[in-house]
Structure 1
Amino acid sequence: MANAPECPVCGERGVPILYGLPTRVAREAAAAGKVRLFGCVVPTEPDQWTCERSHTWRADDDQVLIAVIDAALKRD
């Protein structure tokens, strides 16, 4: 996940946040640390990224977010 942004607080690599009921593939990606599952209730302005220290944030580039999620879920 080379394109993942760094946490603006601690500098750790960002991990994309997934909301909603996870599929088997999403659960496997979460177990591997490629995504983080945040449950079914989506906030009005949801964060998109988290880090190992559990900081959360939004980034400006949705294309990067989509690309990292697609790679984590092995979608083309």
Structure 2
Amino acid sequence: MANAPECPVCGQQGVPILYGLPTRVAREAAAAGKVRLFGCVVPREPDQWTCAQSHTWRADDDDVLIAVIDAALRND
């Protein structure tokens, strides 16, 4: 996840957040630490990233978010 942004609080690499009912592939990616599952209830302004310290934030670049999620689900 080289393109993932760093946490604005602690500087650790971000992990994308997935909302909704996870597929088998999403559960496997979460078990590998490539994504974080945040459940089916999506907040009005959902965070997009989290870190190992459980800080959450939104980033400006949706293309990076999509690319990191795609790579995680493809098992890259």
Instruction: Using structure 2 for the length normalisation, give the TM-score.
Output: 0.97
Runs of 4 or more off by more than 3 Å in structure 1? none
Instruction: Give structure 2 stretches of 5+ with no counterpart.
Output: none
Is the partner of 1:16 in helix, strand or coil?
A: strand
Shift of 1:42: 0.1
Shift of 1:10: 0.1
Q: Map residues 1-76 of structure 1 onto 2, 5 A cutoff.
A: 1-74=1-74
**TM-score calculated relative to the size of structure 1:** 0.97
* Aligned length in residues: 75
Give ranges in structure 1 of 5+ residues lacking alignment: none
Residue-by-residue CA offset, 1:24-66 (whole Å, 9 max, x unaligned): 0000000000000000000000000000000000000000000
- RMSD over aligned CA atoms reads 0.9
